[in-house]
Amino acid sequence: MAEKDIAEKTLEAYNDVFSDIVNVLLFQGRHFVKEDELEEESPVSSYKADGRLHAQERDVAKYWRKGLVRIALYGLENQTGIDGDMPLRLFSYDGAAYRAQLLTDKEMKEETGRTAPRYPVVTLVLYFGYDRHWKTPRTLFECLDIPDEIGPYVNDYRMNLYEIAYLSDEQVQMFTSDFKIVADYFVQMRKNRSYVASEVTIKHVHELLQLMAVMTQDNRFEEVYSPDMERRPMTMCEVLDQVENRGIQKGIIQGEDTILSLMNYLLSNNRAEDAKKATEDKAYRNKLLTEIFGRE
């Protein structure tokens, strides 16, 4: 799971991918947030509990600037599984971001006598599950057992949840970055339980292949990568062709190794006649493989 989280974060950390996700999911594909307006923010914050300081880390966070003015802080949280406590976690992340603004304001007042501008914090949860919808709490109220008497005085908090595998085809087509390939993969897996690659050109080849490797649990996506792929247009169709060829080559090598192991076993056990017959008769060879190694 940690490897998957790292792969997701690496791709989303690119400004073109990050802005694309925000623009499609929040602004229906309008190019509202430009990639050159995004600025890195440390995903790590802290809180105090049990008399000790604890660290908490977002997946990806970026400031949105217009000139020198911060307009907002956007955060992305990736979920491959369902977490019923997610609203509580997000409330903590967003609260820490607002607390940081108070600290910045204090420092600015001491240095300049002016008040630092306040900006909103917006967190998007990207849920990649394709077997079922997110059916656990989406709001703070849904996480808590609230007595009726105090209900009117408890402030709610709603998380911005986006089920990537359940996006419409029209929404997937709105993406212009490598995230289009990611979204298309999960949508196809939900619908068909299989994936047919498109002719979309990949920009961040290594990062996308790392993510595909952990999503599909197929290391061939990483094994076929070479720096040459970054120097020319590359599509997922081409990548899948190379992945398939890699599988065929591996199968041939594994088959040769298995036959060699069989021959060594037979000859070392004085079964030269069996070894000779195995080279001439495929059915007999498979019978010996099952007998000796438990497989064909």
The answer to the question of residue 31 being in a domain is: yes
Which of 220, 221, 194, 217 minimizes the C-alpha distance to 205? 221
Query: What pLDDT was estimated at residue 249?
Result: 45
Q: At what angle do helices 236-268 and 282-293 cross, to 10 degrees?
A: 80
The answer to the question of residue 79 being in a domain is: yes
Summarize the confidence of residues 60-79 as an average pLDDT.
Answer: 93
Kindly report, residue by residue over 91-116, the tens digit of the pLDDT.
999 999 999 998 887 888 888 888 88
Task: Give the count of domains, the chain.
Answer: 1
Tell me the two tokens of residue 202: 């990949």
The burial class, CB within 10 Å (0-12 / 13-18 / 19+), for 22 is: buried
Kindly report, residue by residue over 199-227, the tens digit of the pLDDT.
899 999 999 999 888 877 788 888 888 89
Half-sphere exposure of 160 (CA within 13 A, CB side): 14
Torsion of CA 230, 206, 184, 170, to 10 degrees: -50
The answer to the question of residue 147 being in a domain is: yes
**What percent of the chain stands above pLDDT 90?**
51
**pTM, two decimal places:** 0.78
Q: Which of 37-51, 129-143, 161-175 has the lowest mean pLDDT?
A: 37-51
Q: Domain range spanning residue 60?
A: 2-177
The answer to the question of residue 277 being in a domain is: no
The answer to the question of residue 217 being in a domain is: no
The answer to the question of residue 116 being in a domain is: yes
Tell me the two tokens of residue 38: 């995004």
Summarize the confidence of residues 1-23 as an average pLDDT.
Answer: 86
pLDDT at 167 > cutoff 90: yes
pLDDT higher for 231 or 88? Answer: 88
The answer to the question of residue 206 being in a domain is: no
- CA–CA separation, 256 and 48 (whole Å): 60
Tell me the two tokens of residue 8: 């997701």
The answer to the question of residue 47 being in a domain is: yes
Average pLDDT, the chain: 86
Q: Phi, psi (5° rounding) for residue 233? A: -60, 130
Q: For the chain, give the DSSP string.
A: -HHHHHHHHHHHTSHHHHHHHHHHHHHTT---S-GGGEEE---EEEEEETTEEEEEE-SEEEEEEETTEEEEEEEEEEESS--TTHHHHHHHHHHHHHHHHHHHHHHHHHHHSPPPPP--EEEEEEE---SS---S--BHHHHS---TTTGGGSPP-B-EEEEGGG--HHHHHH--STHHHHHHHHHHHHHHSS-----PBPSSHHHHHHHHHHHHT-THHHHT--GGGGGS--BHHHHHHHHHHHHHHHHHHHHHHHHHHHHHHHHHTT-HHHHHHHHH-HHHHHHHHHHHHS--
Query: What pLDDT was estimated at residue 155?
Result: 95
The type of residue at 292 is I
Tell me the two tokens of residue 224: 């076929």
Model confidence band, residue 47 (pLDDT cutoffs 50, 70, 90): very low
